[in-house]
Structure 1
Amino acid sequence: MFGEIGRIACLETAVGAWQLPWWQTTALGFLGLSAGGVVAAGVFAFLAIIGVFPRLMGKTGTKRILLYETLIILGGILGNVSDLYEIPVRVGGNVALGVFGLASGIFVGCLVMSLAETLKALPVINRRIRLAVGLQYVILSVALGKLVGSLVYFMKGMCM
């Protein structure tokens, strides 16, 4: 029932959780939902801070910002639910796949442009904090940390 990932005991499957006492199952459920909520809030906050949502709202010229925000939240929730429960989508075939790919590409393009604008702000930050040398090393260390973390994640088989 229990496996080991990086010397951390974990359940091999979610089905194994039902073999635990009710209080442990409840605690695991609460912990999982809390952690998921924090991560989701962080992702949405990151996307909002770098300007993806305001950029999309500005480009489309929408007047219904509350509806736009509601649909973004519902999209995140439905995406998580479909990923969690592995719900198959059997509508539209290749046409639906093409539309999804186009929408994903547009979103990634907006994300990249927002990140590029954020990188334009780095020289301003550099002047504000008076970092004379080494900003490129800060950026490089962040990138290398992400690279090493990804390599460890995939090489240790934690992505299953």
Structure 2
Amino acid sequence: MIISMLFIIFLGLSWGFAVGAGFVAFLAVLGIIPRLSQLTKTMAFIQTYEWSVVTGAAAGGWISLRNTVLHLPAFFSVPIGLMDGMFIGLLAAALTEVLNVLPILAKRIGMAEQILIILMAIVLGKVCGSLYHWIFFVDQ
């Protein structure tokens, strides 16, 4: 029994370290945080960005391991949803900017002149998807 518990602890820690190392490598190799601070013109706060990512990853990992439920009033879901959306949007924008995804995609599908249409389709799709999720699935 003790050996199986130690094996489970070892596997959990190993997988956690592997995922953490992959996350750090993803952020470091692609330069997401420096590029995000360049896009928002907040280079003075780069250390705050780094600590925010570390704290958020640690808190997210801890919360996902537990069955945590926050019993907050419904009106708190709007600012929380806005902050979540802004974070995901800025991270996606920085990743897209770093990888030059949109220009390559536009050239490959033959829409290089209509890159604004592609960008607006992505934005409207994310907005509609988020609204659909928040309207129909939040209080279930």
Query: Contact (CA 8 Å) 1:48, 1:54: kept in 2 or not?
Result: no
Aligned twin of 1:65: 46
Shift of residue 62, structure 1, vs aligned partner: 5.0
Query: Contact (CA 8 Å) 2:34, 2:43: kept in 1 or not?
Result: no
Extract unaligned runs of 5+ from structure 1.
Answer: 1-20, 124-134, 137-160
After the TM superposition, which of the residue ranges 24-33 and 52-61 deviates more from structure 2?
A: 52-61
Q: Name which structure has the greater RCO, CA cutoff 8 Å, separation 6+.
A: 2
1:9-60 CA distances to partner (integer Å, 9 max, x unpaired)? xxxxxxxxxxxx1122112111111112211221243234334322333316
More strand by share: 1
TM-score (norm 1): 0.53
Aligned twin of 2:63: 82
Counterpart CA distance in 1 for 2:103 and 2:43 is: 30
1:70-96 CA distances to partner (integer Å, 9 max, x unpaired)? 2221111111111111111123x2233
Aligned residues: 104
CA shift in 2, pair 1:84/1:45, >3 Å:
same
Q: Quick one: which amino acid aligns to residue 27 of structure 1?
A: F
Aligned twin of 1:113: 93
Extract unaligned runs of 5+ from structure 2.
Answer: 110-140
Shift of residue 120, structure 1, vs aligned partner: 4.3
Q: Quick one: which amino acid aligns to residue 73 of structure 1?
A: V
Query: Contact (CA 8 Å) 1:57, 1:65: kept in 2 or not?
Result: yes
SS of corresponding position for 1:113: helix
Q: Aligned Cα RMSD in Å? A: 2.8
Percent identical: 30
Mapping of 1:33-72 within 5 angstroms?
Answer: 33-58=13-38, 59=40, 61-72=42-53
